[in-house]
Structure 1
Amino acid sequence: MERKINKMLPVLDVRGGVKSPLSCFIIKPAFFFLFVLLSCRKEQSDSDHALLELSSYSIVFDYEGGVRETTIYAQDECTLEYVPEWLDATVSRGNIIRVTAGTNETSSVLNGRIRISAGGQRVSLSVKQNAKPVLSFLSDDVCALSGHECTVSVEFNANVPWNVKVSSDGWLSLAKHTYDNPMVTIVGPDQTHRRLMFHVTENETEEERSGCVILECRRYAVADTLYVCQSPSYEQGNEPENEPGQSDDLDDPSEVYRDGDVITLMKAVKGNVNLVVMGDGFTAKHLSKEGYYEQTMKLAVQHFFELEPYATYRDYFNVYMVVAESQTEEMGTGGMYGQYGSGTKFESRFGSGTSISCNQNTVFEYVSKITAIGKDIPVLCILVLNEDRYAGTCYMYQDGNSIALCPMSTLGEQYGFPALIHHEAGGHGFGFFADEYVYYNRQMPQTRIDNIRQWQELGYQMNLDFTDDPSVVHWSSFIGLAGYENVGIYEGGQEYQYGVWRSEENSCMNDNIPYYSAQCRWLIYERIMKLSGKDCSRDAFLENDHIPENRGYGSFCKSTVFVPTEPPKLMGKAPR
């Protein structure tokens, strides 16, 4: 009997194989029991976490509307908890959600989320409808002018990418910098109402002359033309007439801003966040009302609110313009901490590479002219430099104040004025973000890590972390969340390739693309709410988070030829 028992036991060779065929009748039932046990546990686990997924988490309509469908994968019956009023949605057999949108007659993009629930689980379907293409002048088709030299402003609506062309014999031209849009500024709350400035020389001929200004968008096949007619100057009296929008008459004090004037550009409706804009290198000739200085400051504000989440939460901001008159347009040059330049109001100085310095004391002296802002209230000041150069630096103070120095670069896209506002002001200045680009292909030194961690204790530079553990990284709540597939753990940031991680492959804090990562959008929202004295929650943020359609704008590249701006200067208390 003992010999039989030994024969029935499985004998394993060195590779783990079973030698005795008879042993299979003993082993298989054991494995079958284990399989059944694990299957039961899996079924129980699956029932505890009911399946609820979508075949697509976002849909996009053109302005004409239509019908879009996506499939719901769910074990339980689905319910539509919320549908935006401009949409109609139904769930048919087979769990197909059918979404219908009518024509969007507005000039604004519509965004919304449909909330779906099943078995205690919830998901959101993001819906976007593009606006009806609009590109048109708001004035009459003909602009009649006297024969004298003048600068004229005209208003138009545009919600599409556009180009402007001028047809004349050289007497009609776009105002300074208009070729890259700095002289086009927002003048309405819907961000589509804009103002364009062009220059007209004196008509010294004896005949009326005409030209035209053409706005066009080939992508959407829309265009509009403004015809400009100018009379001969000899027909006019001795005193020239001021044309609508004329900005070169500085004799009338009522039409000119003075150094130190404060103008409220926007008043907060829901919050109490303060944004200040002022310029350096702008002289008296730029200070006429609706003139070059004012248009440039308004343009800076426009660029600041272009990206999400600033576009969604612009009603929480007070925006002030402080007028600063410089004696010269020439900026200083030299080292970051060398002798200041002379002549400009804030003594701005271009250093090595893309660095800029300024007289911080004078900047905050002009901020203090805004009586509505107490000295204990944090302020972001955008200092616009009247120079066409790619450079940028931000002073970030531990008490919540900041100065973002942004020249009026006319270089393309990632090197232009809008990109500098997005990166320096929106990213560093308000979001307090660290850079995410990689400059050194090596480990981040421990001294840099310790320094960043000290600032993170104050809430700064929270777009980086020093762990790749998805359960504890700063942006862990976004990882695996439907609609946020771009969020992960990517090594590299704050100039170094190793030992530091960022949340997405690419963002504005890497190479100035017009996109803030989900973690950055959350941090901006969180700071807006805190400065406004309001509660903030992850659910409220997700409900209103408008995820850009082309997020990421390309891949991160270690060997990129992109030239970054100067890293932010982390300072102590602001000199206020």
Structure 2
Amino acid sequence: MKNIFYLAIAILGCCSTASCSDGEESVEKHSSITITTSTDNIVLPSSKNAQYAIEFETEANWKVSTDVDWATVSPQTGKAGSAKIALITKEPNNTGLDRTGTLTITADGASPESLSFTQTTSEVLMVKQSEFDVSYKGEDIYIEFATNVEGRFKLVVYSDVSNWITAINNEMNTSALIEESFGLRIQPNNTRDERAAVFQIYVVDPEQTDMVLMESEKIIVYQQGEPAATSTDYSADKQVRKVQSHTIGNGVPIVMMGDGFVDTEIAEGYYDRVIDRAVENLFTEEPVRSLRDYFDIWAVTAVSTNNAFGEGYSTVFGSVVDSSGSSEIYGNTETVLDYIMSIDELNDIAKVEETLAIVLLNTSVYAGTTSIGHRINGEQMSNFAVSYCPVIENLNSETFRVVLCHESLGHGLAKLLDEYSSEYMGSIPVTQINTYQEFQSYGWAMNIDLSGEEDEAPWSHMLKDSRYQGKDAFGEKLGLYEGACMYSSGVWRPTEESLMNNNKHGFNAPSREAIYKRIMSVAYGESWTYDYEEFVTFDLAHLPRPDDSKATIQSKRLPAPHFTNETLWIK
């Protein structure tokens, strides 16, 4: 309306005093954008959702935008007048470098206003690849990372991988943003089992190498196992080899057999080497070590279709390692009995009822289970047991040795129960108490107490014997320690640690007594009567002692026992 007003004045003036020249142009006023806050140095921190407030005035409707995808503004449009917007970071700056962007304000009829802004970087340690899948043949891999942190860098691993992973380089120094890598040489995997290792990159203080300043995300290396083999020749199946004959008593029968061994492994002698190593492992712990001459040991060859376990594979005894993480093993007891009957000397049901069968799995996984509670001949409970144990880690592994002794000698031979506990299991339920009391009526489970009273414990006679007072060679003291059979309360064990607890310190005195009783009762039958003083004389002469040739290990905790039909499975 301003232009119309000025035109009317001009017309009136022309009539009275003067005239205007033709072609005179009207004057148009432009709008503007005025920034009212300081914008000389807009710096936002490295975090997500960091904000910076900007105020301005315009005489027209306006819009605002940024030229980067990691920042935005709110609001993005508005009407003439005073306005306030927030510049917001949409993500943290983990690039290792400061980054910049431009914010632009536009309004109708006004020249745009552009403002530069910066988001500072955070200290970062970024891994390019966090998972690696490596062939069983092995290869070199490189863990690439980028960082702007000043310090010393180390690659750490959460388990012992020295037998299959070698570091090509393991530390470096840096003081600027770098892109580097740690090299790892993955050796060939000669087993059928997948294996894995977990790594992290640590930034440590150059002056205090124990002080961790930053750590990367977890890096996992998986390596496949060898492809499974398939048998074509089953002629060696059920062949019997006498490994050892007793020289004292009537013989305590042990039958060894393997599951998941194919014809070629049997033909080249690996099957026999596994059996022979397992036999030697059995006689490393007292009192069995000193009573070896009482045992008869047979090996029965079992030719499996495949040397791998799980879906799609077939093995003689159908052994299955529980995939839920419990480390339990299930097998076919009827097939085990069938292979035992291949031994002419055990074609007597009474001998089979006293037999310990040991099934060795051709896999390196950590697992172990023993089944007891078999009624082979009618309603009468037998001492027959089947222990399943993989060749854990490798044939010469200490873990293989102690788990085999725990399962076969502890659970299988003497029917001992586990002495470890878990705080998550709580108090032992009444139903389990009733089961274990029934076991003790058979002379089993003599290494646990359900009363909490020294006078009622199965080893009460030892607690009163001065010869079993004080600490033993491992520093263990006989007593009542609450927690056993996985339960943290309501059940007691004889010592703090033992082979039936964390697979160390050998068998404690009550367990040695139970093993001794079992061996002697089988070797001499009903003619034998237990004499406590005879046992003490023997025991004190053959006490277990620390052996530098055996590594002390901490075993994985195994789950609580459970029933399958009439069989109790013990881990």
Q: Does 1:375 align with 2:349?
A: yes
Distance 1:566 1:510 in 2: 12
Tell me the secondary structure at the aligned position of residue 371 of structure 2: strand
2:361 matched residue in structure 1: 385
1:540 matched residue in structure 2: 534
Shift of the 567–317 alpha-carbon distance from structure 1 to 2, 3 Å rule, reads farther
1:423 matched residue in structure 2: 406
Distance 1:277 1:412 in 2: 15
Shift of the 569–427 alpha-carbon distance from structure 1 to 2, 3 Å rule, reads farther
Distance 1:504 1:317 in 2: 28
CA contact (8 A) 1:392 1:566 kept: no
2:499 matched residue in structure 1: 508
CA contact (8 A) 2:427 2:490 kept: yes
How many residue pairs were aligned? 315
Distance 1:401 1:567 in 2: 21
Shift of the 307–562 alpha-carbon distance from structure 1 to 2, 3 Å rule, reads closer
Q: Which protein has the larger Cα radius of gyration, Structure 1 or Structure 2?
A: 2
Within 5 Å, give how 1:251-330 maps onto structure 2.
258-271=236-249, 272-288=251-267, 291-330=269-308
Q: Does 1:563 align with 2:556?
A: yes
CA contact (8 A) 1:390 1:411 kept: no
Distance 1:483 1:294 in 2: 42
Tell me the secondary structure at the aligned position of residue 339 of structure 2: helix
**Cα deviation, residue 376, structure 1:** 2.1
Provide the alpha-carbon RMSD of the alignment: 3.4
Unaligned runs of 5+ in 2: 1-162, 164-186, 192-230, 374-380, 471-476, 548-552
Residue by residue over 1:251-279, the C-alpha shift from the partner in whole angstroms, topping out at 9 and shown as x without a partner, is 9x9xx981101111000111221001000
CA contact (8 A) 1:257 1:288 kept: no
Q: Does 1:361 align with 2:331?
A: no
Shift of the 260–413 alpha-carbon distance from structure 1 to 2, 3 Å rule, reads closer
Identity %: 30
1:345 matched residue in structure 2: 316
Superposition TM-score, scaled by structure 1 size: 0.50
Distance 1:523 1:409 in 2: 27
Shift of the 429–387 alpha-carbon distance from structure 1 to 2, 3 Å rule, reads same
Letter in 2 for 1:317: F
CA contact (8 A) 2:427 2:487 kept: yes
Tell me the secondary structure at the aligned position of residue 510 of structure 1: coil
Shift of the 344–493 alpha-carbon distance from structure 1 to 2, 3 Å rule, reads same
Tell me the secondary structure at the aligned position of residue 313 of structure 1: helix
**Cα deviation, residue 342, structure 1:** 3.7
Tell me the secondary structure at the aligned position of residue 440 of structure 1: coil
Shift of the 469–425 alpha-carbon distance from structure 1 to 2, 3 Å rule, reads same
**Cα deviation, residue 431, structure 1:** 1.1
Q: Does 1:405 align with 2:388?
A: yes
Q: Does 1:458 align with 2:454?
A: no
Within 5 Å, give how 1:53-202 maps onto structure 2.
none
Distance 1:305 1:506 in 2: 21
1:489 matched residue in structure 2: 480
Shift of the 561–507 alpha-carbon distance from structure 1 to 2, 3 Å rule, reads closer
CA contact (8 A) 1:393 1:565 kept: no
CA contact (8 A) 2:497 2:505 kept: no
Distance 1:453 1:505 in 2: 22
Shift of the 529–570 alpha-carbon distance from structure 1 to 2, 3 Å rule, reads farther
2:217 matched residue in structure 1: none
CA contact (8 A) 2:503 2:555 kept: no
Shift of the 514–390 alpha-carbon distance from structure 1 to 2, 3 Å rule, reads farther
Distance 2:437 2:395 in 1: 35
2:509 matched residue in structure 1: 518
Q: 2:370 aligns with which of 394, 417, 436?
A: 394
CA contact (8 A) 1:414 1:512 kept: no
**Cα deviation, residue 536, structure 1:** 2.6
**Cα deviation, residue 448, structure 1:** 1.2
CA contact (8 A) 2:259 2:359 kept: yes
**Cα deviation, residue 312, structure 1:** 1.0
Greater Cα shift, 266-275 or 561-570: 561-570
Q: Does 1:527 align with 2:518?
A: yes
Residue by residue over 1:341-371, the C-alpha shift from the partner in whole angstroms, topping out at 9 and shown as x without a partner, is 6421111111122011111111111011111
CA contact (8 A) 1:276 1:321 kept: yes
CA contact (8 A) 1:408 1:416 kept: no
Distance 1:293 1:413 in 2: 14
